[in-house]
Amino acid sequence: MEFLQDIRDSVETSVSMKIFPSLKVASYNHIFNSEFTVFPLANCRDLENFNPARLSKIPYPENDRPRGQKDLDSVAHHRRIIRKDGHTEPIWLVLKKGKYTLLDGAHRIVSTYLENKRGIPSYVIRVGSD
């Protein structure tokens, strides 16, 4: 069920960021215009809509937790999944004009980093000529 919530969050984010004009167009692109890949974790430092300071051994210091304890709980949850399955649910990215933007998955990126992985499962939606 996490996948359904992840895609819903990604669709909503892509509309709120004005990448797509409507939920219908965003949903279509998520379903029919996305490609599964393993995104190099080293490239996450250059993602738009992601704070690269999160890629540290203390990614959510006490004075910088937008969702409070839920941030830490989510990272811990995804770390458990990675330890059990070797990976976590894919993140969602959009590639537009040669730039990657994170739509959903910041906690999964942090968890993957903390578990010393080199790549993270990802769905990439190409927009425009990319």
Domain ranges across the chain: 36-127
Q: Tell me which DSSP letter residue 51 carries.
A: -
Please give the average per-residue pLDDT across 42-59, as a whole number.
86
Q: Quick one: pLDDT at residue 75?
A: 86
Q: Quick one: pLDDT at residue 55?
A: 84
36-127: what fold?
3.90.1530
Q: Is 15 exposed, middle or buried (0-12, 13-18, 19+ CB in 10 A)?
A: middle
Alpha helix stretches (DSSP H) within the chain: 2-16, 23-32, 69-85, 106-114
Q: Quick one: pLDDT at residue 5?
A: 85
Residue (of 110, 74, 84, 94) closest to 2 by Cα position? 74
Three-class SS state of 99: strand
The residues, ordered by sequence, that sit 6+ positions from 33 with a Cβ below 8 Å of its Cβ are: 125, 126, 127
27 vs 72, residue with greater confidence:
27
Q: What is the largest CA-CA distance in the chain?
A: 42
Inform me whether the pLDDT recorded for 65 exceeds 60: no
Inform me whether the pLDDT recorded for 62 exceeds 90: no
